Chains A and B, each alone.
Chain A
Amino acid sequence: SQQGEEDPQALSIQEGENATMNCSYKTSINNLQWYRQNSGRGLVHLILIRSNEREKHSGRLRVTLDTSKKSSSLLITASRAADTASYFCATRRTSGTYKYIFGTGTRLKVLA
């Protein structure tokens, strides 16, 4: 079963605006990752945050992690039309398994 649930399911914004996506999960995790998927393509890794980290930045991306609430957020600042894609969170549990659990994704559309 899917552990991660992203919200919103879909988001439409104007170019230059910020986009925020949220991910909730159910069990203790080792780390949480965000991926991007362009339509009909494979996923591309964006950023990873470990369970002992609270915030991480990479270029225009900012990720936060709140393990007490079992949630994470991905912020894309100054969005561009090229950011249009689906964004997924993925978690790996602490139990030693190498399984990754993916959420259902947020479809972001950035209007030029």
Chain B
Amino acid sequence: DGGITQSPKYLFRKEGQNVTLSCEQNLNHDAMYWYRQDPGQGLRLIYYSQIVNDFQKGDIAEGYSVSREKKESFPLTVTSAQKNPTAFYLCASSIVPSTLANEQFFGPGTRLTVL
């Protein structure tokens, strides 16, 4: 899982609650990403950030929010506006590519369940 940590590993949320998933990296990467994975499905991009204090919506940003106050940290908040939040959430980071291609390093994931 490289130098990326996610916490908690399992999270349970009651309907109507906001919850925040933590993602920290010590790889000195500028870019960070949040993905959602549903059973048997691929990854869908929620938000990404290329630099501190800047982030962009991905394909399924509704009901989610992020912040990028530090290079090392990219927390994801799942708000009560997200109607079907039960899923596996993956955080990733990468260097910001110039002309070189680069890989993404993934954390171990957080499994969120709505009770």
Query: Hey, which bits of chain A sit against chain B, CB under 8 A?
Result: 1-2, 4, 30-31, 33, 35, 40-45, 48, 50, 88, 90, 92, 98-105, 107
Q: How far is the CB of B99 from chain A (nearest CB, A)?
A: 10
Q: Are B101 and A98 in contact, with the CB atoms below 8 A?
A: no
Task: For B104, give its contact among A30, A40, A100 (CB under 8 Å).
Answer: A100
In the complex formed, the residue of B with least CB distance to A30 is: B101
In the complex formed, the residue of A with least CB distance to B9 is: A40
Task: Report chain A residues within 8 Å CB of B103.
Answer: 33, 45, 48
Stretch at the interface among B14-22, B69-77, B79-87, B105-113: B105-113
Q: Are B42 and A42 in contact, with the CB atoms below 8 A?
A: no
Count chain A CB atoms within 10 A of each CB in B1, B45, B103 and give the residue with the most.
Answer: B103
Query: Hey, which bits of chain B sit against chain A, CB under 8 A?
Result: 1, 4, 31, 33, 35, 40-45, 48, 50, 58-59, 88, 90, 92, 94, 96-97, 101-109, 111
Q: Are B42 and A102 in contact, with the CB atoms below 8 A?
A: yes
Q: How far is the CB of B56 from chain A (nearest CB, A)?
A: 8
Q: Are A104 and B41 in contact, with the CB atoms below 8 A?
A: yes
Task: Report chain A residues within 8 Å CB of B48.
Answer: 98-99
Q: Are A48 and B42 in contact, with the CB atoms below 8 A?
A: no
Q: How far is the CB of B85 from chain A (nearest CB, A)?
A: 18
Q: Are A31 and B45 in contact, with the CB atoms below 8 A?
A: no
In the complex formed, the residue of A with least CB distance to B58 is: A99
Task: Report chain A residues within 8 Å CB of B43.
Answer: 43, 88, 102
Q: Are A104 and B109 in contact, with the CB atoms below 8 A?
A: no
Q: Are A43 and B42 in contact, with the CB atoms below 8 A?
A: no
- The 8 A-B pairs with the shortest beta carbon distances in the complex, nearest first, are A42-B106, A31-B101, A45-B103, A104-B42, A102-B43, A43-B106, A102-B42, A42-B108
A112 to B90, CA, bound (A): 30
In the complex formed, the residue of A with least CB distance to B106 is: A42
